[in-house]
Amino acid sequence: MNLHESVDNKTIEYGSDLAWSKARPVIAEQASLIFDKQKFFAQVMGDMNLAKKVLKIFMDEAPLLMRGLEKAVNDGALESCQAIAHKIAGTAGSISALSLWSAAKQMEQAVLEKENVNLRLMKDEVLLQFDLFKRVIGWWGVLDI
């Protein structure tokens, strides 16, 4: 299902660049909840080259993890869901991707505790938080995406 909105007498699809540009000011105010830039740069001792290397490694690995998570959820493979969510949470935490860490950690915990949850919704939240993280580091020019 695609969501649409009328902006300046034009219909735009949510997820499009135009829709995102309209939402950007709201999201920008919340950027520190998505990525704690100060904490991350403290971890890399303010070294921009090291920061870029660390983020590049994450950005190279993350799409594989996201696809793996999608497959595990689609297959109903709970152990794989838990393991992949754990890895996403660990790596997200290490780079101060706070909202991604939180979404992945919640998914991991739900599977571990065998809660009756909708894994598809949780997976969608992890993917959304990953997308927001990419956008935030792109805005701040930390990494060209």
Domain boundaries, the chain: 19-140
Question: Which of the pair, 136 or 28, is modelled with greater confidence?
Answer: 136
Q: Quick one: pLDDT band at residue 106, thresholds 50, 70, 90?
A: very high
Mean pLDDT of the chain: 82
Q: Is 4 helix (H, G, I), strand (E, B) or coil?
A: strand
Q: Say whether pLDDT at 28 is over 70.
A: no
Rounded Cα distance between 114 and 126, Å, is 18
Under CATH, which architecture does the 19-140 domain have? Up-down Bundle (1.20)
Spatial CB neighbours of 98, under 8 Å, sequence gap ≥ 6: 33, 34, 35, 36, 92
Rounded Cα distance between 44 and 22, Å, is 33
Q: State pLDDT tens for residues 46-96.
A: 998 999 999 999 999 999 999 999 999 999 999 999 999 999 999 999 999
Residue 44 has what pLDDT? 94
Please say whether the beta carbons of 145 and 52 come within 8 A. no
User: Given the DSSP bridges, would you call strands 10-13 and 4-7 parallel, antiparallel or unpaired?
Assistant: antiparallel
